[in-house]
Structure 1
Amino acid sequence: MDFSLSEEQQMLKDSAAKWVKKECQFEQRRKIMHTKEGYSDAQWKQFAELGWLCVPFSEQYGGIGGSMVDVMVLLEELGKGLMVEPWLSTVILGGRLVELQGSEQQKQEILPSLCEGGIKMALAYNEIGARQQVENIAMTGELSGDDYVLNGKKTVVLSAEAADQLLVVARTSGKPGDSAGLTVFVVDPSQQGVTLSGYPTMDGYRAADIEFDQVRVPPSAILGQTHTAYESLEQVLMEAIITVGADAVGTMELLYQTTVEYSKTRKQFGTPIGKFQVLQHRMVDMFMHYEQSKSVLLMAVLHYVEGFDEVNKSISGLKVQIGKAGRKIGQEAVQLHGGMGMTDELDVGYYFKRLTCIDALFGNVDHHLSKYAEMV
């Protein structure tokens, strides 16, 4: 098989690599993480100008007609820059759900503006007790007169504070555990009855817990059709796992390369530590875990794009691999950097935190290992 990138994909990769090198100096990233917004609006506008917000969308909605292969290429490079902009929540969790579930009118109204950087979105789907299973969603959306009334709580809603629109998943029929009966509502986060409690995540992103108390929305706020959102949500979450998988692979590559370079300059007993064979073995292990993760990512992406029957198993396999490999590479990078690897002034610890949080997103190693076992 030919795994080489197309000319357009190579250009996308090169442009992202150049941007990261120029705009993502560690000190700059760290300052941005500690701002109230948690990201740079100026850099978000650059994302729009560079066309990175429209990669996975159809050309008729302002996109470039890219696939998840293009998303993988882009996110591997952006992962090396500790990206904290709301790309995942807006483009994949938000925009792709609109493209899959929304009506033609909704797609025409939302997606072109999103591609231009005019709209940021957040998907509010996860709940305490749902355990990453969409069918376990219990939040209700009950018809009352001409409107729907939303009641419930959502947790760890990525980039919710930055969002102009929330995509809220609620149950309009059935009971928790049923795949049927789920509906997505487009909600203004400033609407009465919506309470956001924002906080920084360990890796520099921002998230929020959101409470919906008697929030009234019109039928026009329904994304697509009622009761039919399950399959679209499952597909979007698979794409989200591929996205964070690519982010993780880029992070792993940077960590092992940074560690190797450090071992060439750090001296102990008058000798660069990279000459000690036992440390060489550990860095080779880091490289092998990175390469294995990259291969599993490529397999999962191709299975998804080609529509293979085993795509669910491949996606869960990817999440297990990046969770285990991320922990191994992150721990080795910190340890081989010695005491400074634990400091806030060195980027190694931040990348390790990113890998740790990626493991927890959309189901951790144990969750997906269990799913994988059920599919074997």
Structure 2
Amino acid sequence: MARFDSRDETSILLEDSADEFLSHRFDPQRLRAQYQARSGYDRTFWAELAGQGWLALRLPEAMGGSELGIEHVAVLAHALGRHAAPDPFVACAVMPAVLATAAGSADTSSWRRIAAGQVTGKAVSTVAWQEGPFALDVGLPTTRAQRRQEGGFLLSGCKCQVVAGDWADILLVSASLDGEAALFAVQRTAPGVHVEGRLTSDGGTIATIEFRDLELPPDALLASGAPCLASLQQAVDEAMLATAAQLLGLADRAFEITLEYLRTRVQFGHPIGSFQALQHMAVDVRIGLALAAAACGAAVRLQSGQPGSTAARAAVAAAKARTSDTALLAGRFGVQAHGAIGFAAEADIGCYLKSAIRLAAWLGNGTQQRLRVARITDAKAEHLKDGA
């Protein structure tokens, strides 16, 4: 199994409990929901994740969470990846929890209500921050909020690529307010919110959401100013890293499934795993897994110790690039090794490839992330040059 190279006692216990729970409670038939054009999300299973305390893993203790670090989030994301679970753990548990750290600059009672729903699993929150299909870094939003004379705010704009945007109860929406970044809590069913959801390849959903002169009460404002922008960027960075860990788990299990098939499928009187061509392809995947695990481990250490630093952001982008490519490689090799059955709904390997396709694309594929590494490191070089 491809694991991170440094784990503490909490990580080991979390990994063991996650493997035990998911092996018994996750229904693999949910992976086939997309074949019937249905979402694979399950509110009952989401509540069970909450019952394990996993949705509150990253939440502050003052809000009922465990306040564990990104290294523990990565362990759980890896476990979910090994089961190709379509549940939006990263988008609807990790990102809102990271944003909750901005609560000190706004009305904390609003955050406490959101956190309470997350702790119990009774209310799902998702973050609506992207305003273009290729937006990977946080900037001043074009979605705008205006103060109303009678109190409250008026919100107008459009967000895209919102994971589970048609399934969540609460939308955490970034917007410009008085020339600064701000974050608002919006009920998905509120008048003036128009949601267009689409099914993804793995049974998840993404949505385009339009806000048309949406009236919001004063307590809808969760955070504003520079701390808000910094928290948004940290949430995106941690989401990229957690997704990288999920992709690593996905690739790891896909490769195991393929190796099992290579050992048992007999052709011309021999297991097909004895064929040299397939052995060479398997070696490529094995090397990719080792490199992806090393990249994730390095990114976890830097993000944990130096969050927001140039080194950490570059490492996170590199990890997302490496794991995206490796998961796609493992999935494609698996389907190819299985032959025609690999495309059938009965075969798990096809579901793993579908999940890899979606997760590799979300928050930037391998090519996009390598370009981000270049931009991040070039910006640091220019800064050092100017300061010389």
- Structure 1 length-normalised TM: 0.91
Q: Which residue of 2 aligns with 1:152?
A: 157
Per-residue CA deviations over 1:330-372 (Å, capped at 9, x if unaligned) read 2211111111112232121221121121121112222221121
Q: What fraction of aligned residue pairs are identical, expressed as a percent?
A: 27
Whether 1:370 and 2:371 are equivalent positions in the alignment is yes
Which residue is equivalent to 2:84?
Answer: 82
8 Å contact from structure 1 (residues 153, 210) kept in 2 = yes
* Cross-structure match for 1:71: 73
Instruction: Report how far residue 56 of structure 1 moved.
Output: 1.4
- Structure 2 residue aligned with 1:141, among 128, 145, 154? 145
Measure the CA separation in 1 of the matches of 2:133 and 2:50.
37
Shift of 1:373: 1.2
Q: Which residue of 1 aligns with 2:381?
A: none
1:172 match? 177
Q: Is the 8 A contact 1:148 1:219 kept in 2?
A: yes
Q: Give the deviation of 1:32 after TM superposition.
A: 8.6
Gaps of 5+ in 1: 175-180
Q: Secondary structure at the match of 1:229?
A: helix
Q: CA deviation at 1:52?
A: 1.0
- Which stretch shifts more, 270-279 or 248-257? 270-279
Equivalent residues in 2 for 1:247-286, closer than 5 Å: 247-286=246-285
Between 101-110 and 327-336, the greater mean CA deviation after superposition: 101-110
For the residues of structure 1 that align with 2:129 and 2:373, how far apart are their CA atoms? Answer: 23
Alpha-carbon spacing, 1:227–1:298, altered in 2? closer, same or farther (3 Å)? closer
Quote the RMSD (CA, aligned, Å).
2.2
1:277-307: CA deviations, max 9, x gaps? 2211211211111121111111101100011
Report what 2:358 is aligned to. Answer: 357
Worse-superposed segment, 151-160 or 140-149: 140-149
- Secondary structure of the residue that 1:337 maps to in structure 2? helix
Give structure 2 stretches of 5+ with no counterpart.
378-388
- Distance of 1:279 and 1:9 partners within structure 2: 35
Match of 1:54 in 2: 56
What amino acid is aligned across from residue 186 of structure 2 in structure 1? V
8 A Cα contact 2:181 2:224, kept in partner: no
The offset of 1:151, in angstroms, is 1.0
Report SS of the residue matched to 2:194: strand
Alpha-carbon contact 2:159-2:208 (below 8 Å) kept: yes
- Superposition deviation, residue 164 in structure 1: 1.8
- Alpha-carbon deviation of 1:167? 0.5
Q: Counterparts of 1:25 and 1:105 in 2: how far apart (Å)?
A: 36
Deviation of 1:59 (Å): 2.1
Corresponding residue number in structure 2 for 1:347: 348
Give the aligned residue type for 2:263: K
TM-score for the superposition, normalised by structure 2 = 0.89
2:118 is equivalent to residue 114 of structure 1: yes
Partner of 2:317: 316
Which has the higher relative contact order, 1 or 2, with Cα contacts under 8 A spaced 6 or more apart?
2
Find the aligned partners of 2:317 and 2:336 in 1 and give their Cα distance. 29
- Write the letter of the residue equivalent to 1:115: V
Q: Given that residues 156 and 207 in structure 1 are in contact (C-alpha distance below 8 angstroms), is that contact kept between their aligned partners in structure 2?
A: yes
